[in-house]
Structure 1
Amino acid sequence: MKYFIASDIHGSAYWCRKTLEAYGKIGAERLILLGDLLYHGPRNDLPREYAPKEVIDMLNPLKDKIWAVRGNCEAEVDQMVLKFPVLSDYAILVLNGHTIFATHGHLFNEEKLPPLSNGDVLLHGHTHLINAEKLEKDGVHFYHLNPGSTSIPKGGNPNSYALIDGDVFTIYDFEGNVLKSMDLSF
């Protein structure tokens, strides 16, 4: 099964539209959103076509296809306008046989690990930096994955999203170029 992963839309109608177009073309089972959906945050410049109300209107019709976690920019008011849950700090997903701890990244990350077992996946956004690597910390071997940011990439990265297809995690730019790919089978 295919799972589409995006993070850090930050209220950009333009990048939300591009994200949903890519999601539609790929035909993924679910759209996993790793937080910071509507608000740009005080440390970020306004993203292209900043229009949170338009983002709401684009995401709500997909409420039955979206799994989302709370970013550091989400608030209770966001839950009042979005028709899918957005206030959970994390979700534990079992996708294609992989146990995935999905979170935004401001509370749990590669420096501040959640409870993980060997072979688990830590999936988060927040940094706006793409990443796909195997790590070991305190004797636990795990995958650290970050799709980057759809709207406000950092570190010279392009706007990006990711896909989990079977055992493979791949990060793409919006032209369909592969930026990074990793096999998730130990």
Structure 2
Amino acid sequence: MTMSSDRSLVQIAFYAALIAALGLVPKIELGLAGGIPITAQSLGVMLAGMMLGPVRGGLAVALFLFLVALGLPFLAGGRGGIGVFYGATAGYLAGYFVGAIVVGAIMKAMRNMNVVFGAIVSGIIGGIVVVHAFGVPVLAYKAGMTLDKAIMVGSLPFIPGDLIKVALATLVAHTIARGLPSAMLSRS
């Protein structure tokens, strides 16, 4: 292995661990949408894509999801195991993976633009739109509700919190881009 591939593995593992650590932040239950909680973990998904780019960001989320599938209680509320991939939140978990890739791809495509603008655009499109586009249909199917109702209870109530996460991820990306630009692999 080269120094570059060693560094990549460490970065992938770090962001997988960050996503898991954000699962320790207490989840907020709205009592809606078949028990889908508000969690901090999508912030980690956004950061993985923003910082690592599409490939490494996607691999970080894939590693996190693999560890969850093995039974490690890394999801908010201490959930883990293969069963979570069959429940109402399964689509959101798949959306995490694709969302990180999309966030990273947008950041990479916008690498010559202002990092704040790129982070906001990538966070909204990849971290919110993509995650919900995967999550809502599965929620509708698993909870036996119409797609319209799933959007109303499984997406719209979460948008304000998701926008706060985009703002936080943007702040982190901006700070790191100013202080340690080489850590912004999505921009190289």
TM-score (norm 1): 0.29
The structure carrying a bigger strand percent of its residues is 1
TM-score (norm 2): 0.29
The structure carrying a bigger helix percent of its residues is 2
**Larger relative contact order (CA 8 Å, sep ≥ 6):** 2
